[in-house]
Chain A
Amino acid sequence: MSGSSQPHRSTEPHARAAAVQAQASGSDFQSLSARAAGDEKLKAAIGSAVMRQFTGRRLRLLDLPDAQQLRTLAGRIRQHALDHLDYYLELLAARVRQNGGLVHFAADAAEARRIIIQIARDNGCRSVVKSKSMVSEEIGLRPAMEEAGLDVVETDLGEFIIQMAGEGPSHIVGPCIHKTAAAIGKLFSEYFGTPYSEDPGAMTRQARAYLREKFRRADMGMTGANFVVAETGLVCAVENEGNVRQSITTPRILVSVTGIEKVIPRMADLAVFLKLLGRSSTGQAMTVYTNLFGGPRKAGEGDGPEQFHLVLVDNGRSRILGSEYREALRCIRCGACLNACPVYRKIGGHAYGHVYSGPIGAILAPLMQGRERFRDLPQASTLCGACFEACPVMIDIPSMLIRLRGEDAAQGGLGWRQRLAFCAWAEMLKSPLLYGVLGRIKRWLLRRRADEEGYISKGAGMVRGWTDVRDLPMPAKKTFHQLWQGRRK
């Protein structure tokens, strides 16, 4: 699809269709990404948000004495935690129980949903305030809770907006960066039945007033976790808005849901990770709020939850742990690889058809939910290495993408056309005669199509893919081989 023919088309239907399609039929990366790449408004919205975070990260890393070495250390600590995950999970569970909290392990998404809905039922909860959590998106928590009759509201402003729009997040950190203020203004006006305004301040105040009442009356609060500390059993959840704080303050039941891989050994490790997390994700030295919590309120406290539940979700992680891709579990979900990726910048998160998008999503999606379904994602990379360079825990993303591609090819992932083409290509390269003759024909064909200035602006066949968007210089009169022969004489 060509976006340039419809430059003023709203991003709305695209994004929604993308999200719906992704949920309905698995990943159809080819068509979703082509559509997204043709949507100029979408590209502009994503580009400006992502570039701001990207440059912010680069500036903020300069605060550190040796960012490279600190990233290496952070990667080593994460790797250590993964290499001893059994030990740290048991320690964590023991500490949370000592703090008076309850620990639940869920083998898969369905079990996690069941556990959380059961907690709500057992405690007579009706209204739930939820703060941002990628794991909750991964396990499809909100729709399941709503189906169970619970009133669930997303309280992160970006998540609230995409909840109103009926979409999924398009970025790990900025869930609604694909939306323009005008589109959000329209949503607000429809949702609240109030006059249209696209002023971010006015919209934020409207959301604040609405959500404040929700917080005040909520029975259950839900959070995710950036880290869980084995040493103390504390959850660490960072944010800028204060909705996580609200969730751990007002409701009588508190549930934190996260992946089993999020555990870190010590409190001291937080100094390492917090110095990298904010800088890598939003270009902040530190987010506005860094919350540390675990267990219910203590005797005499006037606010805080009466019950604390920590739900630790496996959902394919132990399988990854036992594979050659263990390193991918180091990920701390900062989004820096998304911001750095030239492919993500052009197509946004929805095209990936999975909750985790961008370079790390291209690894996690096929590993977590099936290689067949997400076969195209590891191909969606130029292997330029920008993701590896951005990663605060030094995950070698490009190497893993190559390995995934190789395994896919070995399992017959290439279609017969590609296999035939590569065989023919190999034959041609092996035979000097074929190479020379075919090269001659190619040059002759291309030179015929060139204009007076020596450029081909309308190619045929495979060349069209190139010439539709840019000109191709005419091949030189003599090939390198011919020049070389001439010099040797």
Chain B
Amino acid sequence: MNGEAVIEAVRKALGRSHQPGAVPIPPAIEEPLVRLVHTEIGLPELFVARAREGDILADLVGPDDLHRQLVHFLTHHDCRSVALARSPFLDRLGVEDALREGGLDVRVWPDVTLDEIYELDCGITDAAYAVAEVGGLLVRATPTHGRGLSLVPGIHVVIVEPRNLVPDLVDLFERLAADRDASAMTIITGPSKTADIEMNIVKGVHGPGIVQAFVLH
């Protein structure tokens, strides 16, 4: 692996013989040009509106109503088996028990394998961040939050903690710059989609065809 040769060729092309001593300073990011959402007010409402534009089913729910709505949604979509991420937030909400009481077959990550979740109806996770600007959900790969949960089953349900809402992609990447722990992250702004055949939009190609976000408030 001749990394040296390629970097040498690059350096030569730039007219240098060695690495310059000073660290280059990239152009400043002028926030007024980049930022589209300028306020923290009304983020849950903005998130829901934008998520819906991207075909995410999104609803604000009160903590008391979450269990009922969650089970209702799953029954409505004929889900019998779900894979659940584990997190302090989901534990606190008592999601696992509520699902079992609702008659669902619940498998909790990582006690369930990636191969097994190919056979399950729904994956339920929380989101590390939710970006109001684009109605986007950021899922992070961790030992208790498998990558496959939000990808492999045909339906993905996300429960959003209000304090994880950020206004703009500018805010998201500011936080992610400091986050060196995750081996993989994905921002999700809708159900899996394609328009490859004559620009016809078809949902549910390789990822979930239905994404439901419950935003607590």
Contact = CB atoms under 8 A, between A and B. Distances in A.
A291 B151 CA distance: 12
Interface size class of B (residues with CB under 8 A): 35 or more
A209 to B, nearest CB: 11
Interface stretch (A58-66, A141-149, A374-382): A58-66
A301 B5 CA distance: 36
A202 B118 CA distance: 20
Interface string A455-485: 0000000000000000000000000000000
Interface stretch (A19-27, A69-77, A419-427): A69-77
A297 B110 CA distance: 14
Interface in B57-97: none
B68 to A, nearest CB: 29
B170 A303 contact: no
B5 A289 contact: no
Contacts of B187: 286, 289-290, 292
Interface in A82-115: 83-90, 93, 99, 103-107, 111, 115
A242 B113 CA distance: 19
Given A80-B27, A200-B197, A204-B205, A260 B189 contact: no
B44 interface: no
A286 B53 CA distance: 11
Interface stretch (A29-37, A211-219, A445-453): A211-219
A322 B114 contact: no
B183 A294 contact: yes
A241 interface: yes
B184 A240 contact: no
Given A86-B16, A215-B206, A242-B192, A73 B29 contact: yes
A49 B198 contact: yes
A48 B200 CA distance: 11
Given A271-B170, A286-B189, A318 B29 contact: no
Given A242-B205, A291-B184, 12 more contacts: A66-B33, A73-B27, A73-B30, A80-B24, A86-B10, A107-B9, A181-B197, A246-B207, A271-B34, A271-B172, A275-B36, A303-B141
Interface of B: 1-3, 5-7, 9-16, 19-20, 23-24, 26-27, 29-30, 32-34, 36, 54, 109-110, 113-115, 118, 134, 136, 141-143, 146-148, 151-152, 168-170, 172-174, 176-177, 180-181, 183-200, 202, 204-208
